[in-house]
Amino acid sequence: MRKWHRWISVFFGVFLLWIAVTGTLSQVVPLLSGGDGDRPAKTMADATPAKPAFVCPPDYMCRPKPKGGKSIVGLLHHLHSGESFGPVGVLISTLSGFAMIFFSFSGLWMYIQMWRNRKDRNLKPGWFWN
């Protein structure tokens, strides 16, 4: 089990770090930006412009460009999920998710084995040791 744990971590360590950093940033950026994008207009003049700057053609679905923290969160989501790098990025992101599951279970399994080994050799009991 340790051999697999070691070799898989060599490859996926960089991707798991990438996923952890972009996921953390996608949660922190909205907190720091203050969520300005969802505030309603303050006056009636701001709510209804006299002439729209752009009219969406009937065959298209147009969306306004997000402002402030929302556009950064969207970018971070695409980086986090691997969508920015195409199908290969999504595949690597998905495999990295499976690697995280494997590391969780294999790390727990190795800890239990070490704990049992120490117990069988009548060494210092406890959950943590040096």
Instruction: Return per-residue pLDDT of the chain as tens, 130 residues.
Output: 777 777 777 777 788 888 888 888 887 777 777 654 444 445 555 555 566 666 777 777 776 665 555 678 788 888 888 888 888 988 888 888 888 888 888 888 888 888 888 878 887 766 666 5
**CA distances (Å), origin 87, targets 28, 81, 91:** 27, 11, 6
Question: Is 105 inside a domain boundary?
Answer: yes
pTM for the full model? 0.53
The verdict on residue 82 lying in a domain is yes
Confirm whether 6 is domain-assigned.
Answer: yes
Q: Say if 33 falls within a structural domain.
A: yes
For residue 57, is it within any domain?
no
Task: Note down the domain range covering 14.
Answer: 2-38+66-120
Query: Is position 75 within any domain?
Result: yes
In a domain, 10, yes or no: yes
Number of domains in the chain: 1
Cα distances (Å, whole numbers) of residue 58 to 51, 53, 62, 109 = 18, 16, 9, 58
Which residues fall within 8 angstroms of residue 100, CB to CB, at 6 or more apart?
16, 19
Q: How far apart are CA 95 and CA 26, in angstroms?
A: 20
